[in-house]
């Protein structure tokens, strides 16, 4: 009679096993709910925020050094590098606290030159030559602004006689911008020739004041207002050669930053009597690296204000 109740015992075991299986499934269900409510943020948003920080703020650091007008390019480059290092350290500190490595590495500084005539004089070079080359092989030009103050020649055939800025592109096409006085008009007059096009005279006449005009070539403005006819280097392709013709037929000041170290006859480098050249960093390329345990992001970005060419 010792074998009685075997059937119930086996059944009891079987049901016990089934209950254990159900408990394990319940465990899976609880784990799933836990997984479903866990944060899915891998830090992608933070990585993009860090990139934006570098894009928006790192250039200001470089600009600060550019504006200190160093005489030696090596000093400029050393100081810019030191500032970039400092920026990297400060900007990554907040991320390090959260176990995230945020870094700016692999920097390349692109040399440029800031050309300044900060006191009004004829638009000739430092030795007084009227027809001269301002810069050669410039891959880009920015912040090219000229404020004429007088001495404009009076002519009705600008192509032959007027002061002009010429940009010659790589294919030999020329963009020319003329500033002069037309005896038939009350104000000064502007003329432009785009690439292979013909000369257009009396452009943007509505914007001209009664005094010699202030022209921002790269922004395309005359006296601060948009001049549709003025599109810098239209019809030409970089690298550019920039020339001034009849520099003795206009007076004024100008500023230009060119992406080349090959410039005409200027005083300096560093602060000197006008016109002078200052070595600057035209643009900066860096790798933005952002690493968390779940994420690795590396992107090369180029930093330069305004027109990126």
What are the residues binding another protein (CB under 8 A)? 7-8, 11, 14-15, 18, 21-22, 24-25, 28-29, 31-32, 35-36, 40, 42, 44-45, 47-48, 51, 287, 293-300
Omega of the bond prior to 149 within 30 degrees of 0, cis? no
Q: DSSP characters for 105-128? A: EEEEEEEEEEEEEEEEEES--TT-
Q: How far is the CB of 39 from another protein (least distance, A)?
A: 10
Q: Which is nearer to another protein, 103 or 164 (CB)?
A: 103
User: How long, in residues, is the chain?
Assistant: 309
Q: Which helix (H) or strand (E) holds 284?
A: strand 276-291
Closer residue to another protein (CB): 227 or 288: 288
DSSP-based three-state secondary structure for 78: helix
Closest distance to another protein from the beta carbon of 104 (Å): 14
Based on the number of CB atoms within 10 Å of its own CB, is 158 exposed (0-12), middle (13-18) or buried (19 or more)?
A: buried
CA angle 237, 242, 248 (to 5 degrees): 150
Q: Could you give the count of Cα atoms lying within 13 Å of 153 in the half-sphere of its Cβ?
A: 19
- Cα separation, 290 vs 91, whole angstroms: 12
Closest contact distance (angstroms) between CB of 12 and another protein is 10
Classify burial at 127, counting beta carbons within 10 Å of its beta carbon; exposed 0-12, middle 13-18, buried 19 or more: exposed
CB closer to another protein out of 12 and 150: 12
Closer to another protein by Cβ: residue 272 or 295: 295
How near is the Cβ of 106 to another protein at its closest, in Å? 10
Work out how close the CB of 286 gets to another protein at its nearest, in angstroms, rounded to a whole number: 12
CB of 292 to another protein, least distance (A): 9
Choice between 31 and 64, CB closer to another protein: 31
CB nearer to another protein: pick between 44 and 71 = 44
Closest CA to 258 of 271, 237, 241: 241
């Amino acid at each position: 009679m010792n074998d009685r109740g075997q059937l119930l015992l086996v059944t009891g075991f079987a049901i016990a096993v089934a209950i254990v299986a159900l408990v394990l499934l319940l465990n899976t269900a609880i784990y799933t709910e836990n997984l479903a409510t866990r944060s899915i943020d891998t830090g992608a948003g933070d990585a993009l925020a860090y990139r934006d920080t570098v894009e928006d703020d790192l250039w200001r650091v470089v600009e600060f050094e550019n504006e200190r007008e160093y005489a030696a390019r090596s000093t400029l480059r050393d100081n810019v590098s030191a500032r970039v290092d400092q920026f990297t350290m400060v900007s990554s500190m907040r991320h390090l606290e959260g176990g995230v490595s945020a870094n700016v590495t692999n920097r390349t500084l692109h040399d440029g030159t800031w050309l300044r005539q900060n006191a009004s004089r004829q638009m000739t070079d430092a030795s007084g030559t009227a027809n001269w080359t301002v810069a050669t092989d410039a891959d880009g030009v920015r912040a090219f602004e000229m404020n004429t103050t007088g001495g404009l020649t009076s002519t009705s055939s600008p192509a032959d006689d007027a002061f002009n800025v010429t940009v010659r592109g790589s294919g030999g096409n020329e963009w020319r911008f003329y500033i002069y006085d037309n005896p038939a008009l009350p104000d000064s007059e502007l003329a432009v020739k785009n690439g292979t096009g013909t000369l257009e005279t009396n452009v943007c006449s509505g914007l001209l004041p009664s005094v010699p005009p202030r022209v921002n070539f790269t922004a395309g403005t005359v006296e601060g207002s948009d001049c549709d006819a003025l599109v810098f280097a239209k019809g030409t392709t970089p690298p550019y050669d920039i020339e001034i013709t009849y520099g003795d037929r206009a007076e004024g000041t100008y500023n230009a930053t060119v992406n080349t170290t090959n410039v005409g006859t200027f005083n300096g480098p560093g602060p000197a009597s006008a016109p002078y050249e200052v070595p600057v960093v035209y643009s900066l390329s860096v790798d933005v690296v952002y690493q968390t345990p779940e994420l690795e992001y590396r992107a090369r970005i180029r930093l330069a204000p305004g027109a990126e060419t």
